[in-house]
Structure 1
Amino acid sequence: MTVTDETVMDVLDGSDCFPIEEIVHYPLPGYGAPTSVAFSPDDSLVTYLYSSENTLNRNLFSFDPTTGKQDLLFNPPGGGLDEDNLSAEEKLRRERLRERGLGVTRYEWVKTGPHENAVMVPLPAGIYFQNLSSQPQLKLQSAPTSPVIDPHLSPDGSMLSYVRDNELHVLDLLQNESKQITFGADGKTLTHGVAEYIAQEEMDRRHGYWWSLDSKFIAFTQVDSSAIPNFTIVHQGHSTTGPDAQEDHAYPFAGGPNANVRLGVVSANGGEVTWMDVFCGGKDQANHDEEYLARVNWMHGNILTAQVLNRSHSKLKILKFDIQTGEREVLLVEEHDTWVSLHDCFTPLDKGLGKFSGGFIWASEKTGFKHLYLHDASGKCLEPITQGDWMVEQIAGVNEAAGLVYFTGTLDSPLECHLYCTKLFPDENCALPLKLTKGKGKHVVVIDHQMRRYIDIHDSLDYPPRISLCDLQDGSVIMPLYEQPLAVTKNKKLQLQPPEIFEVQAKDGTTLYGVLYKPDATKFGPPPYKTMVSVYGGPSVQLACDSWVNTVDMRAQHLRSKGILVWKMDNRGSARRGIKFEGAVKNNFGLLDAEDQVSGAEWLIKQGLTKAGHIGIYGWSYGGYLSAISLCRFPDVFRCAISGAPVTSWDGYDTFYTEKYMGLPTENQSGYAFGAVLHHVPDLNGKLLLVHGLIDENVHFRHTARLVNALVAARKPYELLIFPDARHMPRPVKDRLYMEERIWDFIKRTL
């Protein structure tokens, strides 16, 4: 029988081997694996969050590698965290973290004595402590109107710090007495110990305070957002009106003022605050040298350091403070014409190794790729620790006594991530770093305190996450800790075939990587096929990689099961390829990123895989933006687009992200104009579905509303799917299921 569009659609509508409900089920197949894996302080136990029912509702378990015994360490009273018992503050923090987990979502180990360990578990009801040999104890109660925010143990385990009512508090665990140690917050525009919106959303700085290593002091931020006009979001789906049906956010729009941020130090016992000589934000000049407080770190000897970034992202300074006087000195200056990206690789060297005493490891992209460098106590760069046309991602551990650094990076492939070991003090016969992890794909590692073993969480396109205990000396597996035989059965039932990875050339010859989900030719006939392009395309994100997350891209697999070819490709501007590759979009969002996606589509047509004239594109957030602007700019290539929570004009997004990549609106007027979807609406010919939550506090619904105004003015048809109670992404299963049904209906009608 000849396979036609009509017979394919008959198969699509009659096929139930891949129910659409599978797209919205969490955790994804294979991702019911343990998370938040850690070693106990004495390295005798491995702990992790896990659901034996394969749900998002996780408990805390422990595993003894010596005996092979697994125990339920903490079962949260009342079921723990769910979406209905969270304070408004915690709901917004979960949005910043993109957190979906329930039950127990985090914990910290505390050493309570030489032979006894305990864990601290924060829950909506309060802070619980679980001794390994006793019942859980509620140490500190929380309340919806006065929640406990961001609790952390002091390094010596004797105190618990937390934020309540925008002030910093410390609970003495021995005396069971709590003390407020900061004062003056007004609960509206002035806060203490809380990371501001920009820090949480864009800087990957989740905290607003930091314990000194000796547990005697706390450094904290004072954030004054009074210079930022409030942006009001109305809950249009509420049955009531008034103050309870709206929320105000100090949202710093591109070109506008940021929050003023100061850095103070106070004794853990309370007392007078010493303010450090640094003042960030509050100015909108492009040349403001200290606009953002990016990172704060303590070094031994109670030396406090802070990383401050200028408004244009071209210069970062590491400042070192005397906490008694607040006086500062500049330890290091990092500059780059493209931009300086933030990271967490600053690592003090504190073991007193001769001339390196008080020195530190730093990561820089000055060669075009992020590499590690050794600096002395004065900040002088002594030598590179790593080098080459690949990048270091994170420092996993440092063994100063042995002179070794352990890090994850892309030495083997930009599509993979491995653990490597190299010399802390390179010699003239510098060899390539030693790869410790085995097997292609992505490896996430946790090294024990004694620098002898590590946990390897390994996945690839072919395998869901598996967890092993490994020897840090040679990477050999000591014992497997977790395998997933049950996932295989479901994968076979749903016919989850791993996608294939291909290389495509951009117009300038740059190699681009893409992953391809090809329909079953025995069911749908040979190619070419109708095609949907799945896209993100923005900086700091990589889609095309050798990871199980691509195999369980359930929307892509669902479309493949319906006879639709799915393609996702990382255009220039995406992550993990070096600063030249990512910096190609500087000042020009919507230009080369969209053109690279066209190159991918043209490659598919040339390979005979895709039907010309039957290509759609879909994405969320930056991917929603890129979908919409690609549909408008290239009407001869893309027939339809699904644009989820899109930025439609960059003057309506936040300062930090937008100005890093696009500069100030007043200094890049042509770039902002060209990069706005609104600018290209007159060229729209294809079908467009817009999807957005009305209370999205990240990419405001205002973006979609402005685009709708432009579509109406140009008399262009569009479809709109609104979720009145959703933020940046719908959370309830019923909402996500409805969304997927509408998306599939749109694709069937328009592709």
Structure 2
Amino acid sequence: MPEFTPRFTIDDIAVFPPPGYNLPSRFGFSLDGTRLMFLAGEGDDPTLKLHIWDAASGSPIAVIGAPAGGTREEDLTLEEELRRQRERNLSVGITRYSRAEASDRLLVPVGNALYVVDPGTTDLRLVTDRSGQPTLIDPKLSADGNWIAFVQDAEVYVVAAEGGEPQQITSAARGTGKTNGLAEYIAQEEMGRYDGYWWSPDSLQIAYTEVDETHIPVYRIMHQGKDELGDTAQEDHRYPLAGTANAIVRLGVLSREGGDPTWMDLDYGQEMYLARVFWWPDASLGAQVMDRAQSFIDLLRFDAATGQRSLVLHEEADTWVNLRRRHFMPLEQGGFLWASERDGFNHLYLYGPDGDLVRQLTRGEWVVDDILAVNEEAQAVFFSGNREHPTQAHVYSVGFDGEEITRLSPAGGTHAASIAPTFDRYVLIRSGLGAPPSATLHSMTERKTISIHQPTDPRLEPFDLQPPELVELTNRDGTTLHGAIYRPPADFGDGPFPVIVHVYGGPGPQMVTDSWRTTANLQLQYLRSLGYLVFRLDNRGSARRGRAFEGALKQRMGTVEVDDQVDGVRWLIKQGLADPERIGVTGWSYGGYMALMCLAKASDLFKVGVAGAPVTDWSGYDTCYTERYMGTPQENPDGYTAGNVLDLADQISGDLLIVHGMLDENVHFRHTARLINALNRARKRYDLLIFPDERHMPRREYDRVTLHERIIGFFQDHL
């Protein structure tokens, strides 16, 4: 094989963020739209600070840093670390801020201290410092900005934004194994609900969840890499396995001053998931609940004074209900917007104050991703979706009449937006295969654009990252699949090449997109520079292609996904790009599971595999995720058996590297331990890389260096 020197080192791969991703985040506006806020570092310093700009001129007003540097990985408590794992958050400094719904007061939490930036000012003012006490979690401003609530030691507290002593308003959870005001693990990890309490629009009441997990068996994780022993070297988790009991969740409302709560009627006579909670504009409480099988979702309205519920909307799916970040928006004038896959693709529907459908606003073989904002006065909805192409994402508007869709983002690429409450300005974030992320401020009424961020990362030019080629192919069933080819440099000729398939394969993520994220994967770029052709393919089951495409894996994970990956490799061979004797596969989490299944079910094709943090037996994963796609083990024993790696261990051949963090509280190290037993029984050879102090994804830079060294070296040695 010819020699080619990569333009960057393995150490560079481990640096966070990747090149080009020093992009500002958490864009927001003041109520009158005149001020723009966002989080960003300064120069080469990745520590995030709060930036405030004049939105009309684009002139900076202030840059606010956190006292003592703000959040740092080494200072995190266990509660903070686990919450950041759920949020996939690696940022440091000021990592979050929020504006009150009806006030320009900003809340800036830093560790166990709460600061505010008062309207018209640019200074941090300390409200309360709870240092030395249990972790302060999920602080939020009331709608009027005059109060702050937070959770500490399993109870909800409220403190005046002007300062004073915080007052505990909930009770009966601390010391019992229950929690008040905190979202349970399943809600955070599998439903994207990170909140456990919600301020009312009048700032007088708080709705909150009481979570009881005491009946769920404890899963203990030992910190084998620690010097000390005892309680600090272990952590206990209540982890509901597929087919077993979930947490018991109640929803209550009480005064911000405390007192006895009123419990909402959530009794369905069966186990349900509390997926979303919100307040309707008329101050009644709202919720979205799903059955355990996630085959239907109900939109509810509660009388906050009595707890009595009424049904607003009932939606069923023949596969499962997909929850999105914002698939619902209540309207001040009455009625609401609802996103549904009822016609096979996720689209917008307008409902009137009586709960009756007015009309469908969008339609076609493409999907709406999120509702971004609604201008009720102009009767316009702003949303994101992939109308142009499945690999792209754009920002659009559509009127309440549903007659015309207007694209606000330029052609090609991937876009997101933050829209001012006044609807006269918006921030557009754009990236593409050949375009690192940029952010621009746009006027709705004038042809005026202000640059907020342009790619200035000093690594971009020397790294010279080459965008992959996006391709389309047809699988054995005639379904069109989208792939990405990272072709080796010209020094290696025209092929065929040794191939490494980089796979995820599970429902949810989309790996092949017209975005800089696809280009800026340095591990894949490094492998490409060594002469490997790296290939990504979004198989059936992946997101943003419609209900039938995603639902193909229902009740049978580990089947159609492998078939599609095999079809992708055979397509590469047919194109003369792949050496059929030198095919490898690598993936993490579901991708680790896929790597193992490829080695077991298509060992004639895949010769080398790297499986990172793999699920090996779906009965050992959590309830909500697993049962959404597979049902329970009791309902679908054949599907669980067919998708069980442990039962296929004797069929695994080729060279295998297994990687796992021993503190993984998502895909437990138990999955790898049981796989090792199965491989040993089958007398199979394997390599093992463990990280004693890492969770589902390595966060320490030195561990990430080791990870990439071992994976890249493994392919060099065996492929």
Number of equivalenced pairs: 717
SS in structure 1 opposite 2:327? coil
CA deviations on 1:46-89 (whole Å, 9 max, x unpaired) are 11111123343111111223344224431111111101222211
SS in structure 2 opposite 1:705? helix
Alignment of 1:137-536 (within 5 A): 137-143=125-131, 145-174=133-162, 176-187=164-175, 189-279=177-267, 289-343=270-324, 344-351=326-333, 358-426=334-402, 430-431=403-404, 433-472=405-444, 476-484=447-455, 486-487=456-457, 490-521=459-490, 523-536=491-504
Distance 1:571 1:596 in 2: 5
Alignment of 1:615-694 (within 5 A): 615-694=583-662
SS in structure 1 opposite 2:191? coil
Q: Which of 558, 569, 577 is equivalent to 2:545?
A: 577
Question: Residues 223 and 136 of structure 1: is their aligned pair in 2 closer, same or farther, counting only changes over 3 Å?
Answer: same
Question: Residues 320 and 125 of structure 1: is their aligned pair in 2 closer, same or farther, counting only changes over 3 Å?
Answer: closer
Distance 2:441 2:388 in 1: 22
> Do 2:397 and 2:408's aligned partners in 1 also have CA atoms closer than 8 Å?
yes
Show the counterpart of 1:32. Answer: 22
Question: Residues 18 and 188 of structure 1: is their aligned pair in 2 closer, same or farther, counting only changes over 3 Å?
Answer: farther
1:16 Cα offset (Å) = 5.0
One-letter code of the match for 2:450? M
1:178 Cα offset (Å) = 2.2
Alignment of 1:552-563 (within 5 A): 552-563=520-531
Which piece of structure 1 moves more, 227-236 or 128-137? 128-137
1:269 Cα offset (Å) = 2.2
TM-score, normalised to structure 2, is 0.97
1:110 Cα offset (Å) = 4.3
Which piece of structure 1 moves more, 216-225 or 342-351? 342-351
Q: Could you tell me which runs of 5 or more consecutive residues in structure 1 were left unpaired when the two chains were aligned.
A: 281-287, 352-357
> Do 2:33 and 2:425's aligned partners in 1 also have CA atoms closer than 8 Å?
no
> Do 1:693 and 1:725's aligned partners in 2 also have CA atoms closer than 8 Å?
yes
CA deviations on 1:560-597 (whole Å, 9 max, x unpaired) are 11111101010000000011000000011110001100
One-letter code of the match for 1:328? R
Q: Which of 717, 734, 737 is equivalent to 2:705?
A: 737
One-letter code of the match for 1:459? S
1:134 Cα offset (Å) = 5.8
1:473 Cα offset (Å) = 5.5
Question: Residues 289 and 338 of structure 1: is their aligned pair in 2 closer, same or farther, counting only changes over 3 Å?
Answer: farther
> Do 1:26 and 1:55's aligned partners in 2 also have CA atoms closer than 8 Å?
no
Question: Residues 434 and 135 of structure 1: is their aligned pair in 2 closer, same or farther, counting only changes over 3 Å?
Answer: closer
Distance 1:401 1:110 in 2: 22
CA deviations on 1:89-115 (whole Å, 9 max, x unpaired) are 1111001011000001000124897xx
SS in structure 2 opposite 1:152? strand
TM-score, normalised to structure 1, is 0.93
Distance 1:137 1:719 in 2: 54
One-letter code of the match for 1:119? L
Alignment of 1:70-89 (within 5 A): 70-89=60-79
The higher-RCO structure (CA 8 Å, 6+ apart) is 2
> Do 1:111 and 1:118's aligned partners in 2 also have CA atoms closer than 8 Å?
no
1:471 Cα offset (Å) = 2.8
SS in structure 2 opposite 1:50? strand
SS in structure 2 opposite 1:698? coil
> Do 1:45 and 1:65's aligned partners in 2 also have CA atoms closer than 8 Å?
yes
Distance 1:648 1:690 in 2: 11
Distance 1:390 1:144 in 2: 51
Question: Residues 477 and 501 of structure 1: is their aligned pair in 2 closer, same or farther, counting only changes over 3 Å?
Answer: farther
Question: Residues 301 and 110 of structure 1: is their aligned pair in 2 closer, same or farther, counting only changes over 3 Å?
Answer: closer
One-letter code of the match for 1:124? G
1:726 Cα offset (Å) = 0.5
Q: Could you tell me which runs of 5 or more consecutive residues in structure 2 were left unpaired when the two chains were aligned.
A: none
> Do 2:501 and 2:534's aligned partners in 1 also have CA atoms closer than 8 Å?
yes
Give the aligned CA root-mean-square deviation in angstroms: 1.6
Distance 1:55 1:134 in 2: 21
Distance 2:275 2:310 in 1: 17
1:382 Cα offset (Å) = 2.4
1:675 Cα offset (Å) = 0.4
1:65 to 2:55 alignment: yes
> Do 1:694 and 1:727's aligned partners in 2 also have CA atoms closer than 8 Å?
yes
Distance 2:487 2:101 in 1: 52
Which piece of structure 1 moves more, 409-418 or 180-189? 180-189
One-letter code of the match for 1:620? W
1:45 to 2:21 alignment: no
1:259 Cα offset (Å) = 0.3
Q: Which of 108, 114, 119 is equivalent to 1:121?
A: 108
CA deviations on 1:416-472 (whole Å, 9 max, x unpaired) are 11111111134xxx34x1111113111110000111111001111111111111133
1:37 Cα offset (Å) = 1.2
1:188 Cα offset (Å) = 5.1
> Do 1:447 and 1:453's aligned partners in 2 also have CA atoms closer than 8 Å?
yes
Show the counterpart of 2:508. Answer: 540
Distance 1:563 1:548 in 2: 22
Distance 1:144 1:197 in 2: 25
Show the counterpart of 2:117. Answer: 130
Show the counterpart of 2:694. Answer: 726
1:224 Cα offset (Å) = 0.5
1:477 Cα offset (Å) = 4.6
SS in structure 1 opposite 2:415? strand
One-letter code of the match for 1:236? Q
1:22 to 2:12 alignment: yes
Question: Residues 175 and 743 of structure 1: is their aligned pair in 2 closer, same or farther, counting only changes over 3 Å?
Answer: closer
One-letter code of the match for 2:651? D
Question: Residues 606 and 16 of structure 1: is their aligned pair in 2 closer, same or farther, counting only changes over 3 Å?
Answer: closer
Which piece of structure 1 moves more, 175-184 or 437-446? 175-184
Distance 1:118 1:381 in 2: 37
One-letter code of the match for 2:432? S
Distance 1:710 1:738 in 2: 26
Question: Residues 144 and 410 of structure 1: is their aligned pair in 2 closer, same or farther, counting only changes over 3 Å?
Answer: farther
Question: Residues 144 and 233 of structure 1: is their aligned pair in 2 closer, same or farther, counting only changes over 3 Å?
Answer: farther
1:749 to 2:712 alignment: no
> Do 1:534 and 1:619's aligned partners in 2 also have CA atoms closer than 8 Å?
yes
Alignment of 1:705-720 (within 5 A): 705-720=673-688
Q: Report runs of 4+ in structure 1 exceeding 4 Å deviation.
A: 110-113
Question: Residues 54 and 674 of structure 1: is their aligned pair in 2 closer, same or farther, counting only changes over 3 Å?
Answer: farther
1:401 Cα offset (Å) = 1.3
CA deviations on 1:369-419 (whole Å, 9 max, x unpaired) are 111111223322222111111111111111111111111111111111111
1:290 Cα offset (Å) = 4.6
1:694 Cα offset (Å) = 0.5
Instruction: State, as a whole percentage, how many aligned pairs show the same letter.
Output: 44
> Do 1:538 and 1:622's aligned partners in 2 also have CA atoms closer than 8 Å?
yes
Which piece of structure 1 moves more, 50-59 or 246-255? 50-59
One-letter code of the match for 1:416? Q
